[in-house]
Structures are given as C-alpha cells and as structure tokens.
Amino acid sequence: MGRVAHGLIARSLLRRNLAPPPFSSYAAAAAAAAQRTVPIASSCGTASDVATSPRPRWWLFSLPVAPSRSVSVGLAGALSFSLTLVTAAEAKEPPSPELIPKDVVLYQYEACPFCNKVKAFLDYHDVPYKVVEVNPLSKKEIKWSDYKKVPILVVDGEQLIESSDIVKKLSQRFRPENSVIDEEETKWLRWVDDHLVHMLSPNIYRTTSEALESFDYIAKHGNFSMTERFTVKYAGAAIMYMVSKKLKKKYNITDERAALYEAAQTWTTALDGRDFLGGAKPNLADLAVYGVLRPIRYLKAGKDMVDNTKIGEWYQRMEIAVGESSRIAA
C-alpha cells in the first residue's frame, strides 16, 4: 500500500515545462496539408480520419499539485487520503487465473485515447500484455492486418478491433456470470465515444503552443526515427492545429475550454456522490472515461480541466484503483 501511495504522490508532483519553438513557418504548409490525407497526424487513423470520422482521435490530462494547508487540516486530509487508498485498492478485480489469456499483444499509438481505454481495462484486471508501438507514417507493424487503425488487440492469436468491442468481449470472458451491462453503464459508455472524445482535440490543439506541446509528447513516446520525430512534431502539430479548428466548427463548439469543463462536470454530476459510477468499484464506464483521459495528463488542457472542475478527486481514486501498468516486455 505504501508503494502505491508514494507512487501516486510522485506522479502528482511531476510536471513538464516545455518551451515550444517558433511555429509560424509551418502554418502555410499545414493549411494545405490539412486538406489531404496525412498519415502522421493521428493516434487512431490518419489526419483526414480525424477531420471526417464521427470519432476523431487525439488528446490529454493531469492532476494538480495539492495546495499547502495547516497542520491540523493536513492531518485530517492525510487520514482521509489513506482511507481513500484502502477503498480504491480494494476495488481491484483480477479475473480467475484460468480465465487470463496466455498471450496478449496490443498494437497501439501511445497517445491514442482508445488504445488507452483498452490499457486501462487490462491494467485494472491485472492482465499481462505486450505492446507494439505502431509507426503512424508507415504502419509497417500492422501490415499483416486488414484493419489499418489502432487499437488492435491480439488475444491468444485472435484479433480484436475497436476499443469498445475489445473491452466488451474481454469483460464477458472475465465475468461470464455478470456480462449484462446495465442501462446507466451503457449510457455513459456511449457518451465517452459520442461526446467526450470530441471535446479533446479542439482543446489539445487550441493554440499553436498547445499543439506543439502535445506533439512533443507524441514524438518522444512514439516509434520514430530522428527525422520522423522532427516531422511528426512540427508538421503534425501544424496540421492538427488546422484540423482542430474544423472539428470545433463541426461539433458547434464556441469555447473549447468551456465545453471541456462542461463534459467533466457532466461526468462528476453523474457520479452523484459515489466514489465511482459503479459504486464501490469502477465499472466499464469509469474505466472508459479514465482511459481516454489518462494519456493527456501532462498537457495544459488536462491541467486546466482539473483546476477548473471537480473531476480531480475521482481521477485520483481511479488512478489508485487501476494501479500500475500490467504491461510486460515484448
């Protein structure tokens, strides 16, 4: 328990101070490139997929450092936090050993929210999995598949696609006695895919500096050569800055941050005082919301969301409940 608590506190204190370089030299090229299919600017497809698909895919989030308080309040807070740690840790639900697949491989983009939705489910259930980072330029890692987007999850040789379908099938496998999803859970699972993800891209790429901040993270964590890393960061950021403006118009978003805050507040209101939507333990909707927000935790949009809404406490509980990654070496 101490290791988990220290890990959470350490992660909460981590921050990045990125200093984006000049952006203007890429704007003209981006305007033209945004009109075409550009394979570098997507975590779950091409840039044109992001602009035209009903499920655009790019994103982020972070927990703020807790403010200092008086000793007495700090002691009470520490006690409350310890109780939260115990409650959240007890929420863990690993499946029976005989139900755990022998070989699980996830083909992903590091920053893809739908890939992270699958990872949140696997981590929560302590299912060991290997990761293959897909190069969005060549996609050579998934040339063997007819499906050319991510995530792709290969479970004991069987290919599973589409994050919501992957999670549903695995949930039915791990909990055959409790495979029926109730009406509330279904409603919020649909909300994640139909609404929440649409708020992310216009916020992450709201300004040129935020676009570069996002692509700095993507370039560092992706499967890129040095040349590709440069291309992805600058050309990709410029393209997605332009694309985000189209998405803002498409979804009738007038104020990006206000729309993001409203989505966060909608979710916390749905909790209705519960630790999780699932009650004492996270359900599939909790894992889906947490998963799509998790990869953005170090970006400005995510920090602003936590600072200006009440979602931070729920996110902390989810971070503890899901625990450390169950990823293993490939």
Give the residue numbers annotated as catalytic, written as ranges.
Answer: 109, 112, 114-115
What is the rounded CA–CA span in Å between residue 161 and residue 154? 9
Let me know if 313 is exposed, middle or buried by CB neighbors in 10 A (0-12, 13-18, 19+). Answer: middle
As a three-state string, the secondary structure of 288-321 is HHHHHHHHHCCCHHHHHHHHHCCHHHHHHHHHHH
Contact present, 160 and 154 (Cβ < 8 Å): yes
Q: Where are the alpha helices (DSSP H) in 69-112?
A: 71-89
Sign of the four-CA dihedral 146, 147, 153, 159:
negative
Given a contact cutoff of 8 angstroms between Cβ atoms, the answer to whether 224 and 215 are in contact is no
213-233 as b/e: b if 16+ CB within 10 A: bbbbbbbeebbbeeebbeebb
Q: What separation in angstroms does the CA of 171 have from each of 91, 133, 146, 186, 276?
A: 16, 24, 25, 13, 18
Which residues neighbour 167 within 8 Å (Cβ) at sequence distance 6 or greater?
A: 117, 118, 121, 284, 287, 288
Token readout for 218 is 């993507």
DSSP run (H or E) holding 134: none
Phi-psi region of 12 (alpha: psi -120 to 50; beta: other; left: phi over 0): alpha
Name, in order, each residue with C-beta under 8 angstroms of 211's C-beta and a sequence gap of 6 or more: 23, 204, 205, 237, 238, 240, 241, 244
Chain centroid to CA 9: how far? 20
